[in-house]
Amino acid sequence: MSWRRPVLVVTAAVVMAAVVAPVWAWARSTASGAETNTFATHVFLAPGQPVCSGLGIVTVTLTWSAPSDSAQVLGYELGVSTTSGGPYTYSNVGTGTSTNTGVSSGNNFFVVRSVNHLWRGPNSAERKVVSLLGLTASCP
């Protein structure tokens, strides 16, 4: 006579919720919206093409219009070359938009560019000034 006792397997996993619940909360709560900050530097614009506002003996007064970003401009440099297209030799001419400068005999090609600390804007369009016999200047 054999007994086949019903086998009862009771598996009880009793875990206190106070322990389990926080573990479930490990899922990281992320930002509802990350903050995106974009910082971009200025790109300088070119001043207007210099015009001859005054001709003298071996000198010429050049005037140009300030670029539309003049609020960013701390000054200007005047570039000069005996060759169209440069290379130019630059000199600081201050914050104004005109300067009186000397000219060399022959062709003189002038450009202007903006200055902000060590940053330099692009050159303006070129202005040709011709000095005759090294004495008088013309602005053809």
d(CA 79, CA 68) in angstroms, rounded, equals 20
SS3 33: coil
Does position 21 interact with another protein (CB under 8 A)? The reply is yes
Amino acid at 9: V
Does position 120 interact with another protein (CB under 8 A)? The reply is yes
Determine the interface stretch with another protein among 13-21, 85-93, 95-103, 131-139 (rule: CB under 8 A): 13-21
Q: Among 84, 118, 133, 140, indicate the residue that binds another protein (CB under 8 A).
A: 118
d(CA 89, CA 71) in angstroms, rounded, equals 25
Tally Cβ neighbours within 10 Å of residue 104.
13
Return all residues near 4 (Cβ < 8 A) that are at least 6 apart.
none
Does position 25 interact with another protein (CB under 8 A)? The reply is yes
Place of tokens 């930002």: 31
# binding residues, another protein (CB under 8 A): 49
Nearest distance, CB of residue 85 and another protein, angstroms: 17
Nearest distance, CB of residue 91 and another protein, angstroms: 17
Binding site for another protein (CB under 8 A): 1-4, 6-14, 16-44, 69, 72, 116-120
